[in-house]
Amino acid sequence: MGDFNDVRCASERMNSEFIEANAEAFNQFILSAGLVEYNMGGGNFTYISDNGRKLSKLNPFFVCLGFKEQWPNASVTALDRIASDHRPIVLSTVQSDFGHIRFRFFNSWFEYPSFMEYMLQKCAVFSFSGPDDLALAIKLRWLKDKINAWLKVEKMSREGIYEDKKRRLACIENMAEERMLMEVELAERADCKNVVAEFDRIKQLDLRQKSRSRWAIDGDENSVFFHHIINSNISSNRLNGLLIDGVWVTNPVSVKESLYEFFLKQFSEPMPNRPELICTNLSKISVSEASMLEQPFSVEEIKDAVWECDGDRAPGPDGFNFKFIKKCWSGLQVDIVKMFNTFFEEGSLNKSCTSSFIALIPKVKDPSSPVDFRPISLIGVINKIISKVLVNRLKRVLGKLISEHQSAFFTGRNIMDGPLVLNEVFGWLKK
């Protein structure tokens, strides 16, 4: 038995050294084969040497893209090694339930013939007797329910028509193999093809919006490419579990509580009394500029800010993007202006208007604790509109307050200006 263990250890050591020596060639092979590695939870390493000084990841899971399309929510977990020096790893396709899927507006819904008419009609009949700053938030929630109910009926009808047209198209093309088609049948075939193509085009619009691809050209119909991006995002951003007190936990309730407690401490104010900033040589704005910053908000100013915002950005808690706000501006303008008037008079808004989601972006390949995630805030359209209007006002005076040596995060200046100037200075000094 002792000889066998010696041979086994020597074999594992040679295997480990071989993999490390040929890591680059192995990675090239994986890329050429079209394989991707699944993120692993439960631990960072699968092998530990007998002396406990060497750790390595010898047993990853590699899958093809077709697997990710079929099971985008699959997870890989490293189990406890107990007495062994290897950790068993498990590939699971069972999806954990972290709660309901939130509402998200898709721009393709504007392609439905009666959608705009339905939206403007609902905006017109909505009434709210509460505070003016809360009216827009309540209206968006109300519209969300109406849209879901309308889509449920509309999609069932459209999908029924789509399937009927596909079957009829297949039937006509089967007849074309046996005899010449009549004019009526040719016209019907053309109509069926148009209906099917239009339905597929709308589905591709949804895929493109889900993928959030910024560089794809307009009209790009590479649905496979968008599918790959969507599934890759689902796989990399999926939270399968966390290490809590040294134990890998997959229960969604426990994971949520652990993350909540961690980020509650991160976002708490540790210093109730902050030091004051005393500086007598700060740049100041003029009285007229200060008056401009404090003047009431105009409808044109608000509308310009809305139209400057990208219509396809990720939605926040309300689920709406700016394309919806722009398209339905006539039905939402009054509520938006009322909200700004309240904000101007009181300097604050109801908490229901300014709610946000905290999204966790993995900072490492195999995240296992809350420290391995970078939190970002997904805010709703109300926060974005107010922020954009205030930023547009500040832009008029920031150039006077910020030094010309500050080359980043300022309109008209580029973060690369500093290195470029430095390279020119070095070249001049050498000459």
Q: What is the pLDDT of residue 65?
A: 66
Residues 42, 48, 52, 53, CA torsion sign:
negative
Q: What is the pLDDT of residue 397?
A: 86
Q: What is the pLDDT of residues 122-132, one digit of tens each?
A: 998 998 888 88
Per-10-residue mean pLDDT, the chain, length 431: 46 52 61 66 74 74 70 74 77 69 82 87 88 86 90 84 87 86 87 86 75 50 57 66 80 85 84 80 85 91 90 79 90 91 86 80 81 85 90 86 76 80 89 87
What SS3 state is found at 101?
A: coil
Q: What is the pLDDT of residue 98?
A: 62
Indicate the pTM of the whole model. Answer: 0.67
The DSSP bridge pattern shows strands 35-37 and 373-379 to be: unpaired
Under 8 Å between Cβ of 362 and 36: no
Distance CA(27)–CA(35), nearest Å, equals 10
Distance CA(251)–CA(330), nearest Å, equals 46
- For 301, the token pair is 């100013």
Q: What is the pLDDT of residue 379?
A: 84
Q: Would you call 289 exposed, middle or buried from its count of C-beta atoms within 10 A (0-12, 13-18, 19+)?
A: middle
Distance CA(16)–CA(11), nearest Å, equals 9
Q: What is the pLDDT of residue 336?
A: 92
Q: What is the pLDDT of residue 23?
A: 58
Distance CA(111)–CA(121), nearest Å, equals 17
Q: What is the pLDDT of residue 7?
A: 41
Q: What is the pLDDT of residue 250?
A: 79
The share of the chain scoring above pLDDT 70, in percent, equals 81
